[in-house]
């Protein structure tokens, strides 16, 4: 396989910042995504190449290896480790008066460890290496993760079907085993690390398993008490308002929050804060009534 310059794939320099890398990836991923380019093989290959580049450049450790070892970056660290070990052995043999490795033997050692273009009868079986791990993001709305459901996502040109458990949180990372790159020389596949990005377009604020909501309450009901119907995340409930309810009073609705991750039979709570609305655009008669009340309270 020809060497691919991932910096050129993104159209950025080798000194690009993490932000520049992320921006370039998102722009290109949107442009060449299979959902936007159905049945377009060129776009599919380009999307795969973009994701490969992102797996390397978005991970500081992988990027460092790539900058150091180039096309051999996946196994560069192992190569360096073997080289250091061989050098130590060479030095030890020289110090003990034994004959060190010749240049030919030294070359054969690395061929036996990592394979070479010119095989020989002395070449050993190449070591097995685990495939590269992949990283991907899955963007969902808050309502999407209220119940468990199936999702199909495309990672590195492969379609992966998974069950999204109810209650996953924004920024949460899960590992999907064996869905990374193929291993080398029969080694195990890498894994997929999936980060959930959850957008909230509701009136609820989520903190852990609890939901928070501000509910407007008119002045008259807050003073006299009464009933109020409010929306929860999965339906409406009727609340009894106590007389003389103060502004920013809170009420907790047990079990009306968000499902608990991997235990969706249990839920957090919904905490409602009453925001009392002051009446405006009063007519003359209403103003006079408030003045009468003011006089009564002053006595």
Percent of the chain residues topping a pLDDT of 70: 81
Using the structure block, give the residue that is written with the tokens 């992102």.
54
Residue 126 counted as domain residue: no
Q: For residue 132, what pLDDT band results from cuts at 50, 70 and 90?
A: confident
Domain that holds residue 211: 205-298
Domain for residue 127, yes or no?
no
Whether 143 and 217 share a structural domain: no
Residue 152 phi, psi (nearest 5): -120, 125
Residue 281 has pLDDT above 60, yes or no: yes
Question: Does position 223 have pLDDT exceeding 80, yes or no?
Answer: yes
Tokens of 164: 């999204």
Lowest-confidence region among 28-32, 103-107, 223-227: 103-107
Residue 44 and residue 92 in one domain: yes
Q: Rg (Cα) of the chain, in Å, rounded? A: 32
Query: Is residue 289 included in any domain, yes or no?
Result: yes
The angle, 0 to 180 degrees and rounded to 10, between the axes of the packed helices 73-95 and 60-69 is: 60
With a cut of 50, say whether residue 159 has pLDDT above it: yes
1 or 33: which leads in pLDDT? 33
Most confident of 130-144, 239-253, 283-297: 239-253
| Model-wide pTM > 0.75 | no
Residue 254 lies in a domain: yes
> What is the total count of domains within the chain?
3
Q: What is the 3-state secondary structure (H, E, C) of 104-146?
A: HHHHHHHHHHHCCCCCCCCCCCCCCECCCCEEEEEEEEHHHHC
| Average of per-residue pLDDT across 120-129 | 57
Is residue 123 over pLDDT 50?
no
Lowest mean pLDDT segment, chosen from 19-23, 118-122, 238-242, 249-253: 118-122
Among 114, 147, 176, residue at a domain's last position:
114
> Which tokens belong to 157?
């040109």
Average pLDDT over residues 69-88: 64
- Identify whether residues 272 and 236 lie together within a single domain: yes
Of 199, 224, 254, the residue that ends a domain is 199
CATH number at residue 217: 2.60.260.20
């Amino acid at each position: 396989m020809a060497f691919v310059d991932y910096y050129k794939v993104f159209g950025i320099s080798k000194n690009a910042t993490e932000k520049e890398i992320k921006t370039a990836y998102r722009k290109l991923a949107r442009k060449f995504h299979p959902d936007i380019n159905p049945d377009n093989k060129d776009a599919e290959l380009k999307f795969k190449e973009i994701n490969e580049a992102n797996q390397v450049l978005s991970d500081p450790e992988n990027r460092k290896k790539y900058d150091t070892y180039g096309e051999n970056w996946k196994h560069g660290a192992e190569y360096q480790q073997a080289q250091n070990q061989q050098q130590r052995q060479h030095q030890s043999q020289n110090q003990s008066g034994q004959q060190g490795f010749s240049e030919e033997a030294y070359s054969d050692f690395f061929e036996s460890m990592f394979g070479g273009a010119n095989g020989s009868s002395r070449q050993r079986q190449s070591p097995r290496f685990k495939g590269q791990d992949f990283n991907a993001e899955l963007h969902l709305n808050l309502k999407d993760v209220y119940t468990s459901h199936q999702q199909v996502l495309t990672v590195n040109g492969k379609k992966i079907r998974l069950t999204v458990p109810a209650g996953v949180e924004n920024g949460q990372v899960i590992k999907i085993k064996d869905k990374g790159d193929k291993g080398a020389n029969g080694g195990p596949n890498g894994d997929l690390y999936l980060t959930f990005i959850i957008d909230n377009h509701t009136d609820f604020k989520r903190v852990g398993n609890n939901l928070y909501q501000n509910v407007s309450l008119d002045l008259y009901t807050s003073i006299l008490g009464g009933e109020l119907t409010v929306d929860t995340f999965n339906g409406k409930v009727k609340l009894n308002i106590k007389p003389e309810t103060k502004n920013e009073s809170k009420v907790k609705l047990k079990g009306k929050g968000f499902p608990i991750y991997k235990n969706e039979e249990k839920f957090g709570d919904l905490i409602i804060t009453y925001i009392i609305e002051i009446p405006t655009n009063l007519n003359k008669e209403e103003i006079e009534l408030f003045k009468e009340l003011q006089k009564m309270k002053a006595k």
